Amino acid sequence: MLLSFDNVTKTFPNGTLALDRVNLSIASGEFVSLVGPSGCGKSTALRLIAGLIEPSAGKVAWTHAKPSVGFVFQDAALMPWATVAKNVRLPLELTRKDDAEADRRVADTLELVGLTKFANAYPRELSGGMRMRVSIARALATDASVLLMDEPFAALDELTRDRLNDELRELWAVKNLTIVFVTHSVYESVYLSSRVIAMSQRPGRVIADIAMTEPKTRTRDFRMTTAYGERCRDVRSALQRELATP
């Protein structure tokens, strides 16, 4: 086990109860997707894992020491005034890595996401898909072993999204990452992950936890299989049952 939520409750200062006694655990190397209706607390759960906010009650516990965590935001959240290389370098500078080390890691991660040629471009010169790759490179620059992604591909067109989905699967496998991925899309969650967690309307609770570790390597053909279709239906019906209850 990598980390667990023990009865985690989050109430915001304005009284909004976002998460209500959530229990879940995530194992090292899993690719977990969180799906659920808008406002159910998915982003809140990610921010709790990242340690950006603290639970109001209960505990977010890491089994061993908290590893290096990378965060990918919905609209890439790049610094528009800095080049691609400088954006990727930011976490390294904030954590005070020495220059040579930082140079090497920036080069490595840019290569990993296929953006070496764009190191000196500014974000506005890039397409949405490329910006997202920069954001992923930035999250991985510190050698993060856990990647938290909040609807990263929601704003992209479908073809770009499919391609980035494949690239992300590959990255996950190659780098042995643990990924927690928030999405609105049932199809995306089933295609990508080894486990889909469906959440109720606010306050968020876990209403379904659907594992799907096979197949390991997934191509476009996987979308045509019955296993894929069945899983999509499972997740969808869990969400619909939830939406039907007032």
Partner 1 sequence: MSRERIWGYGLPALVAVATMGFWEWIVYALDIKHFVLPAPSAIAAAAIESWGSLMDATWVTIRVTVIAFVLALIFGIAFATLFAQSRTIERALFPYAVTLQVTPVVAIAPLILIWVGPDNAERAVLILATIVAFFPILANATLGLRSADRQLHELFDLYGASRWQRLIRLQFPAALPNILTGMKISGGLALIGAVVAEFAAGSGTSTGLAWVILQAGFNLKVAKAFAALGLLAAIGITIYALLSLLERHALKHWHESARPPE
Ligand X SMILES: Nc1ncnc2c1ncn2[C@@H]1O[C@H](COP(=O)(O)OP(=O)(O)OP(=O)(O)O)[C@@H](O)[C@H]1O
Instruction: Tell me the window of 90-98, 161-169, 194-202, 238-246 that interacts with partner 1 (CB under 8 A).
Output: 90-98
In the complex, minimum distance from the CB of residue 162 to Mg ion, in angstroms, rounded to a whole number? 22
* Of the candidate residues 89, 202, 205, 231, the single one contacting ligand X (CB under 6 A): 202
Does 143 contact partner 1 by CB under 8 A?
Answer: no
- Whichever of 63 and 120 has its CB closer to partner 1, that residue is 120
Q: Distance between CA atoms of 107 and 192, rounded to whole angstroms?
A: 27
In the complex, minimum distance from the CB of residue 62 to Mg ion, in angstroms, rounded to a whole number? 23
Residue 17 belongs to what H/E stretch?
A: strand 17-26
Does 80 contact partner 1 by CB under 8 A?
Answer: yes
- Contact letters (x/-) for partner 1, 5-44, by CB under 8 A? ----------------------------------------
* Of the candidate residues 1, 23, 39, 114, the single one contacting ligand X (CB under 6 A): 39
Does 44 contact Mg ion by CB under 5 A?
Answer: no
Q: Rg of the Cα trace of the chain? A: 18
Three-class SS of 121-190: CCHHHCCHHHHHHHHHHHHHCCCCCEEEEECCCCCCCHHHHHHHHHHHHHHHHHCCCEEEEECCCHHHHH
Considering only CA atoms, which of 194, 197, 101 is closest in space to residue 141? 101
Q: 16 touches which of ligand X, partner 1, Mg ion, none (CB within 5 to 8 A by kind)? A: ligand X
DSSP category for residue 60: E
In the complex, minimum distance from the CB of residue 89 to partner 1, in angstroms, rounded to a whole number? 11
- The two tokens of residue 74 are 């919905």
Does 201 contact Mg ion by CB under 5 A?
Answer: no
- Whichever of 78 and 206 has its CB closer to partner 1, that residue is 78
Considering only CA atoms, which of 104, 75, 74 is closest in space to residue 88? 104
Cβ atoms 164, 129 nearer than 8 A: yes
- Whichever of 90 and 119 has its CB closer to partner 1, that residue is 90
Does 41 contact ligand X by CB under 6 A?
Answer: yes
Is the peptide bond preceding residue 152 cis, with omega within 30 degrees of 0? Answer: no
In the complex, minimum distance from the CB of residue 155 to partner 1, in angstroms, rounded to a whole number? 13
- The two tokens of residue 62 are 């890491």
Does 43 contact Mg ion by CB under 5 A?
Answer: yes
Q: Distance between CA atoms of 80 and 125, rounded to whole angstroms?
A: 10
* Of the candidate residues 41, 91, 152, 203, the single one contacting partner 1 (CB under 8 A): 91
* Of the candidate residues 12, 125, 209, 237, the single one contacting ligand X (CB under 6 A): 12
Other C-beta atoms lying within 10 Å of the C-beta of residue 233: 12
Binding site for partner 1 (CB under 8 A): 47, 50-52, 69, 71, 73-75, 77, 79-82, 90-91, 93-95, 122-124, 142
